[in-house]
Structure 1
Amino acid sequence: MKYMLLAIVLFLNMQASETKGAQPPSLVKTVKVKEGYANSLQNYVGTLYYDRNSELASESSGVVSKLYAKEGQRVKRGNILLKLESSILEAKLKAKQAILNSFLAQQTKQQKDLKRAEVLINKKSIAQSSYDNTYYTLEALNAEIESHKAELLAMKIELQKKSIRAPFNGIVVKREVDIGEWVAVGSSVFNIIDPKSIEARINVPSRFLKTLSKGQKLQAKIEKKELEVSVKSIVPLADKSSRSFPVKLSFNSQKNLIEGMRIDVKVPTLKKEKVLLVPRDAVIKRFGNFVVFVVVDSKATMIPVSVINYTNNEAAISAQGLKVGMSVVIKGNERIFPNMPVVEKAN
C-alpha cells in the first residue's frame, strides 16, 4: 500500500510539474510541525453489530392469513408485515357497534325528554318523581354507553394487534412463520434490523479506561479500509473471565458493512511515545490514506502519514520525511495538489 501511494504521489508530482506554468499560486495557511508525546496504541479486535435489532413478537393469537414481507426485503416504519385471521373479531366488533348506536339513539331521545321535563318541573306541571325517573334513566343510559364504548375500544385494539407492523425503517432478516400457521401470544414472527444503526464493540482491559472517554476519536480498520470511530459509551459491566469492559463505537461510514464483520481498533495505552504534532485540520484523506501537505520552496508536497492518536485539537502522527519545524498546511489543503505553487498566508 505504501509503495502504491508513493507511486501515486510521484505521478501527481510529474503531472503538476508539466502544468506548473499554467497554475496560479494557491493561498494556504500553515503552522510549524511540533514534537511531543502521546499515548502509544495497542490494537484490539472487535465486532460490528446492529444497535437496532428487533425480534418482533405477536401480541395476539391466531392463524396467519396474509404475509406482506419476506427475508431480505426493505420495509418502512408502519408497514404491515403480516395479518392474523380476524373475521370473527370483525363480526363481533360490528355487532358491538350496532348495540352502541342503539344506545346512543336512546340517549338522544332521553336527553330531549329531560329538557322537556326540566321545563315542566319549573312550571310545576309534573311531579318530582316523574322528573327524577327521566333524569336517572338518562344517567343509566350514559353509564351503559360508556361501558359499550370501552368494550368497543378494547375490540379495536385487539383488531389492530392482528396486524403486525414494522417498528422502524429496516430490513427483514428472518421470518419465523408462514401462511396457515398458528401464532400464540408472544411468539416470534419477524427479525428486523436497521442497517444504518451499525456500530462496533470491543473489550478493553480496565487499566485502559483511564485513556478513553465518551466522544473520543480512535483510528480503526475494517477489511483493510481505514476509518475514524468515536467512543459512544463505555459499559460499566466487566466480563468476569477476561476482566475487560465493553466499549461501544460509532462511525459515519456505513456502506457495505454488516453485523459480524471484524474491526481493528487502535486503543491508547498508558505508555507514552515521542511523536510529531500537527493540528487535526492538517491531516486529510487522499486516495483512501491519511496525508499532510507541507510547503517546500513555495510548493506543496504531499506526505503520507500514520495517525497515532488525537489529543484535543492536535493529531499525533508519524511520517517518513516529515520533520519538526516544517510548515504544514492547515487551511486550503483540500484544494491543492503535489508540487502546486502556494503562498503562505500570514498569521
Structure 2
Amino acid sequence: MPESYRDNLQESNPPQFAPSGIEPVKPNRLLLALITVVSFALLAILMIFSGNQSVLALDEDKLLVMQQAKVEVSIIKMHASYIKPRVVYGQIGAVQQSDIGFELNGTLRQLAVLEGVSVVKGQVLANLDTARLAARKNELNSELQSAKADATLAKLSEARIVQLVEKGLEPQQRLDEVKAQLDAANAAASEAQARLASLGVELAKSSLKAPFAGQVVRQYVDAGTVLNAGQAVFSILAKDALEARIGLPEQTAFGLSIGENRQLAMHDQIFMAQVASVAKQRNQATRTIDAVFSIDQNLLSAQQKALIISGDLVSLTVDIPMQTRGAWVPLSALASSVRGLWTLYVVDANNTIQTRLVSIEYADNTNAFVSGAINDGEKVVVSGIHRLVPQQSVSNVVEVENQFTHASARSKATAVKGL
C-alpha cells in the first residue's frame, strides 16, 4: 500500500482509547447477562402458571365441598292473613269508690277515722254537732205529751157525753162535736209522733257511716268545718273488689264473650280476669271500646294481692288480624338486602340457589311473616345461608318439617288455596 494512502486512512480513523480505569466490554459478558435475564423470566412465568393451577384447584375443592354440604329447606306455605299481637293498656280500679258526706247541713264535730284506715260496713266515720237537734227533740217530746193529754181528755169527754145523750140530757149534736174533738186530739198526737220520728232520722244521719267495707283513701275536711248538705267528707275505696277497664280495638272488643277468662299482666305478674261487660259505644276521647274485667281476689297469690292496687296500669295482649298475603319463615332464613328489603334463598327445580326479595310485615324472637316475590310450594333455605351464593348448585338438599308456619304470634292465619 502506498505510504500516502496509509497516512490518509489513519487520519480519517483515529485510534479509539478507553477511559482511564475502565476496561472495554467484551462480547461474551453481554451474552451471559442476556442468558441470565431470559432464565429469570422463564422461571417467573413457570411459577405464576403453577400458582394459578393451585388456586383453581383450591377453588374447585371449595366449590365441591359447598355443593355437597347439607342444605336444609322447608316448603313455603302462603297465607291470606296473619295474626299480629298487640298490647293494650288499661287501669285497675275498685268496683266501688265513693265520695261520701252528710245529707244535712251542720258543723263537723268529730272525725272517727283517719285517712288510710280500713273500715267495715256500717262503721261510724264522723259526727255532726247535734245540740240543735237535741233541743228540737225535747220540744217535740213536750208537744207529743201535750197532744196525748188532749186526746185522753177528749176520750173521757166522749164517754160522758154518750151517757148523757142516752139519758136524753144532751142532744146528738153535742156527741158529734165531742167525737170530732177526740179525732183532732188523736191527729195532733200522731203528728207530734211523726215529727219526733223525723227528728230521729236527722239525728241518725248526723253520724256518717261507711256504706261498704273498704279503705278511707282521702279526707277532704277537718273537724269544726261548717258543712253543706252533700259536701264530701271522705273518699272510700271498696276492699277486695277490683276491676280492670281497658280500651280495646273494635274487632277485638266485639269478639269477647261475657264470662270469658283472659290473661292480664302488671308488675311482671300474670293473673286471670273475667270479662264483666263490653261497652256498646265508642270512647270519644280514645276511639276505643271499653271492656271491664273482674279480678277475683281468691285467684291471686299473696304477692299479687299486695302489688295490685287501684290506679295501676294493666296490660292485655290481643290478636289483631292483618289482611296481608305472605308466609311465615324463620329469622335464620333472612339476609339483609337494599332499601329495607330482605333476601330469601330458595332452591329451584334444578337444585340451583335463587334469591327472592321480601318485606318483613311482622317478626318476633324466632320467626317473621314476610310478603313479596315468593310463591306457595317453593323450597326456602332455613339455615346456613351464609354459605350460599346466588346461582350456586347444591346437591345435598334436605327437606325439614315446616314448624314455623303457625309458631309465631299464636298464628291463626288462613292458608290461601290455589295460590
- TM superposition score category, shorter chain reference: 0.5 to 0.7
User: 1:126 aligned to 2:170?
Assistant: yes
1:48 counterpart letter in structure 2: I
1:65-122 residue CA offsets vs partner (Å, 9 max, x unmatched): 1110101111111111111111121111111112102211321332243244335434
| Residue of structure 2 equivalent to 1:145 | 189
1:26-71 residue CA offsets vs partner (Å, 9 max, x unmatched): xxxxxxxxxxxx9775322111011200100221111111110101
User: What SS class does the counterpart of residue 239 from structure 1 fall into?
Assistant: coil
Give aligned-pair identity as a percent. Answer: 26
2:274 corresponds, among 230, 251, 264, to 230
| Residue of structure 2 equivalent to 1:331 | none
Question: After alignment, is 141-150 or 173-182 more displaced?
Answer: 141-150
CA pair 102-174 structure 1, distance change in 2 beyond 3 A: same
1:272-310 residue CA offsets vs partner (Å, 9 max, x unmatched): 9xxxxxxxxxxxxxxxxxxxxxxxxxxxxxxxxxxxxxx
CA pair 205-133 structure 1, distance change in 2 beyond 3 A: same
- 8 Å contact kept, 2:115–2:217: yes
| Residue of structure 2 equivalent to 1:21 | none
Distance 2:296 2:322 in 1: 29
Which has more strand, going by share of residues?
Answer: 1
- Deviation of residue 172 (structure 1)? 0.6
| Residue of structure 1 equivalent to 2:59 | none
- Deviation of residue 207 (structure 1)? 1.9
Residues 26-45 of structure 1 mapped to structure 2, 5 A cutoff? 41-45=85-89
Distance 1:40 1:114 in 2: 92
Residues 101-120 of structure 1 mapped to structure 2, 5 A cutoff? 101-120=145-164
| Residue of structure 1 equivalent to 2:316 | 265
1:260 counterpart letter in structure 2: G
Distance 2:155 2:123 in 1: 44
User: What SS class does the counterpart of residue 71 from structure 1 fall into?
Assistant: coil
- 8 Å contact kept, 1:233–1:247: yes
Distance 1:57 1:177 in 2: 10
Distance 1:115 1:205 in 2: 83
- 8 Å contact kept, 1:114–1:135: yes
TM-score scaled by length of structure 2: 0.53
Aligned length, in residue pairs: 240
- 8 Å contact kept, 2:213–2:239: no
1:170 corresponds, among 205, 208, 214, to 214
Residues 1-347 of structure 1 mapped to structure 2, 5 A cutoff? 41-253=85-297, 255-256=305-306, 257-270=308-321
Computed over aligned residues only, the root mean square deviation of the Cα atoms, in angstroms, reads 2.7
CA pair 128-240 structure 1, distance change in 2 beyond 3 A: same
- Deviation of residue 161 (structure 1)? 2.1
User: What SS class does the counterpart of residue 196 from structure 1 fall into?
Assistant: coil
1:173 counterpart letter in structure 2: V
User: What SS class does the counterpart of residue 64 from structure 1 fall into?
Assistant: strand
Unaligned runs of 5+ in 1: 1-37, 273-316, 320-347
| Residue of structure 1 equivalent to 2:380 | none
- Deviation of residue 165 (structure 1)? 1.0
Distance 1:250 1:148 in 2: 50
- Deviation of residue 131 (structure 1)? 1.0
Select the structure of larger CA radius of gyration. 2
